[in-house]
Homo-oligomer: A and B are copies of this chain.
Amino acid sequence: MTRVDEPARPGGRIRDAARTKAEILDVATQEFARAGYDGARVDEIAARTRTTKRMIYYYFGGKEQLFTAVLERAYGVIREAEQQLDVDHLDPVAAIRRLAELTFDHHERHPDFIRLVSIENIHEAEHIAASEKLGRIGSPALEVIRRILAAGRESGLFTADVDAVDLHAMISSFCFFRVANRHTFGALFGRDLVDPAQREHYRTMLGDMVIAYLTAERAAD
């Protein structure tokens, strides 16, 4: 995060549309993630930027569009991360495990994003539906999964004909739940799923689970 209280330098730009917009998006991301869509306060967002509420409406149009813009940027970040994926040099089993671990790490590193997704689901993905950008964002990870699954099937390492989207859902489930539901789970079962001391344990568990599923002997159906 950029410092907010730096003194107004004479040489510094007072007016910088790109910077103002980015700052609003940063703060809005935090505020929406903190309190949910309806719990978030436009005034609070404005107060925590070095600009005013007027600018939020000037640049984004309204609270609803601001939230959509926040989502667009958040999804953009994971899309970029997924584009960095490079597991083609690994054998299928190692590649899938690596992919699962990277997904795990990304979820852990971006709890705000997880919260935004939860919030958007409460609102039945209406903002994604309203966004042209998000409609065609796709998922590079899915292509990677497809390639690994094909290679694994060909080499005979993977016993079942598993769909890429299904496998993505399976991996995401575990990663998402661990972060998104850590509060209720912790309160009810007395176990912090995001405890750093347990991190490796759960990371391994995810990999084991996915590999076991893909390599298990299964009755033909």
Q: A-side interface residues toward B, CB under 8 Å?
A: 35-39, 75, 115, 117-122, 124-125, 128-129, 134-135, 137, 139, 142, 165-166, 168-170, 172-174, 176-178, 180-189, 191, 193, 202, 205, 208-209, 211-213, 215-216, 218
Contacts and interface: CB of A to CB of B under 8 A. Distances in A.
A208 B213 CA distance: 7
Contacts of A122: 35-36, 39, 115, 118-119, 122
Number of copies: 2
B212 A137 contact: no
By secondary structure, the A interface counts as helix
A111 to B, nearest CB: 11
A172 B185 CA distance: 10
A184 B117 contact: yes
A91 to B, nearest CB: 16
A209 B167 CA distance: 11
Contacts of A211: 216
A-B CB proximity, top 4 nearest: A125-B183, A173-B177, A212-B216, A38-B38
Contact of A183 (B120, B180, B183): B120
- Between A142, A172, A176, A188, the greatest number of chain B beta carbons within 10 A of the residue's beta carbon is seen for A188
Given A36-B36, A188-B134, A212-B216, A169 B165 contact: no
B184 A174 contact: no
Contacts of A137: 188
Nearest to A179: B121
B170 A205 contact: yes
A134 B191 contact: no
Contact of A176 (B38, B168, B173, B216): B173
A115 to B, nearest CB: 6
B172 A205 contact: no
